Amino acid sequence: MHSASPTPVVKNERLFLLTIAGIQFTHILDFMIMMPLGPQLIRVLHIDTHQFGVLLSSYTFTAAASGLLAASYIDRFDRRKLILTLYALFIIATLCCGLAPDYTTLLIARALAGAFGGILGAMVQTMVADVIPFERRGKAMGTVMTAFSISTVAGVPLGLLLASSFPAIGWRAPFFFIVLLAAGFWLIGYKLLPSLTAHLHSKRVGNIFQQIFTVAKEPSHLTAFAFIALLMMAGFTVIPYIALYMTTNVGLPESFITVIYLCGGAATFFTSQLIGRMSDKHGKLKIFRRVALASFIPLLITTHLVPIAWWLVLINSTLFFILVPGRMVPGMAMVSAVPVPHVRGTFMSLASSVQMLSSGLATLVAGLIMTRAPDGQIVHYDTVGYLAVACGIASIWIARHLRIATPAAATGKPLT
């Protein structure tokens, strides 16, 4: 199956993908690394748990809002210049987080980091789709999703490690680490990322808001947005509460949660790329279906676990982190083929907002379903598991209706 238009040629495709993956890694890590810093921030900044929750959610909500805002300009600039500018602003915002003297300043800095980080996610996937032909895009998305998976599972233990290893600066250490790492990737990107301007040559009709509305209401795009939302619901109803459930209901020590995340991260480093190669070879829709169906097993086990041997928990959790995020590799490869190239940035920005909002909604819905018994046990987590599986089944069904874009319209051939 061939994509609708010729793709730009880069001198070294692998270095391009590694650079893009590095940008993806740092901005996701910036979000995840906040989670284990709660006790320190509450103690040092004299805040309560509600205020810490606001710190976490501020990143997500501004990321969703910035994705909508980015839809108004993302397809009007050279991709290279735009991503380097946004990445530089993200680095500055993260540096401000590390330098923040009080809660209010930190909250503003986190909101800004989320605003720029949210757009980076859309830019990364847009550039991959611009450069890599659809036939090899599964492997490319596998590389990017490897960075996503590792940052997701490594953020918690890395945040704890950095904060404890540098007691003089404590909770600030993780932010300074991200700044140094991101600055290195920015310099690499400045040297290696290609100029991408083909989308600028297409004629646009109407004002900017009419153009965004045209992209948003396109039936094939609406199908893709629904697909993304269901994928998020199928994962983020369960993922945010794994650590809590493991410590309260399964009886594992908090230190073992780090082991679970590290093993999951190490596994996904290899399996994300493997799933990507398989989706290129055997068809993205076919591999998505198989991975999605297989993911239901560790998902249901996770939400029904009782106190059992630690090694059985570790086997299941590793399979969970392989398969549940693994669905995103062929899934996002298919989504990236839905829009025509000249509106791909706008589409991916809107898709990023849908992704952020639906993941937040999933966490909220799961929190409303679950309760704590008088003895502290979590109840109704099994119901959350059934909801996640139902959303997963719906995503498999709707994946059949995704269509590859053609030059004449955004609807075309079925994805395979």
Which position has the higher pLDDT, 322 or 217? 322
Residue 408 resides in a domain: no
Confidence of residue 415 (pLDDT cuts 50, 70, 90): low
Asked if the model's pLDDT at residue 24 lies above 50, the reply is yes
Confidence of residue 10 (pLDDT cuts 50, 70, 90): low
Question: What tokens were used for 79?
Answer: 């991709």
Confidence of residue 410 (pLDDT cuts 50, 70, 90): very low
pLDDT of residue 201: 60
Domain of residue 241 covers: 13-197+208-399
Of 125, 193, 196, 140, residue with least CA distance to 342: 196
Q: How large is the average pLDDT for residues 331-340? A: 84
Cβ(323)–Cβ(298) below 8 Å: yes
pLDDT of residue 1: 38
pLDDT of residue 164: 76
Quote helix, strand, coil % in the chain, to nearest 5: 80, 0, 20
Q: How large is the average pLDDT for residues 15-25? A: 87
Q: How large is the average pLDDT for residues 287-305? A: 94
Residue 8 resides in a domain: no
Asked if the model's pLDDT at residue 360 lies above 50, the reply is yes
Half-sphere exposure of 99 (CA within 13 A, CB side): 7
pLDDT of residue 291: 94
At 324, give phi and psi (nearest 5°). Answer: -65, -55
Task: Report the chain's mean pLDDT, rounded to a whole number.
Answer: 82
Asked if the model's pLDDT at residue 6 lies above 70, the reply is no
The mean-pLDDT minimum among 14-18, 63-67, 140-144, 368-372 falls in: 140-144
Asked if the model's pLDDT at residue 5 lies above 50, the reply is no
pLDDT of residue 9: 56
Q: How large is the average pLDDT for residues 193-210? A: 65
Tokens 């890599």 belong to: 132
Cβ(411)–Cβ(345) below 8 Å: no
Cβ(291)–Cβ(272) below 8 Å: no
- In this prediction the pTM is 0.74
Asked if the model's pLDDT at residue 337 lies above 70, the reply is yes
Residue 202 resides in a domain: no
Residue 78 resides in a domain: yes
* CB atoms closer than 10 angstroms to residue 266: 15
Question: What tokens were used for 182?
Answer: 């991101």
| CATH number of 388's domain | 1.20.1250.20
Residue 22 resides in a domain: yes
Q: Each residue of 70-122: pLDDT tens digit?
A: 766 777 778 888 899 999 999 999 999 999 999 999 999 999 998 888 788 77
Number of structural domains (the chain) is 1
Confidence of residue 412 (pLDDT cuts 50, 70, 90): low
Q: At what angle do helices 344-369 and 49-70 cross, to 10 degrees?
A: 150
308 to 222, 296, 301, 302, 303: CA distances (angstroms): 43, 20, 12, 12, 14
* CB atoms closer than 10 angstroms to residue 412: 18
Residue 191 resides in a domain: yes
Asked if the model's pLDDT at residue 370 lies above 90, the reply is no
Residue 146 resides in a domain: yes
Q: Hey, what amino acid is at 137?
A: R
Residue 242 resides in a domain: yes
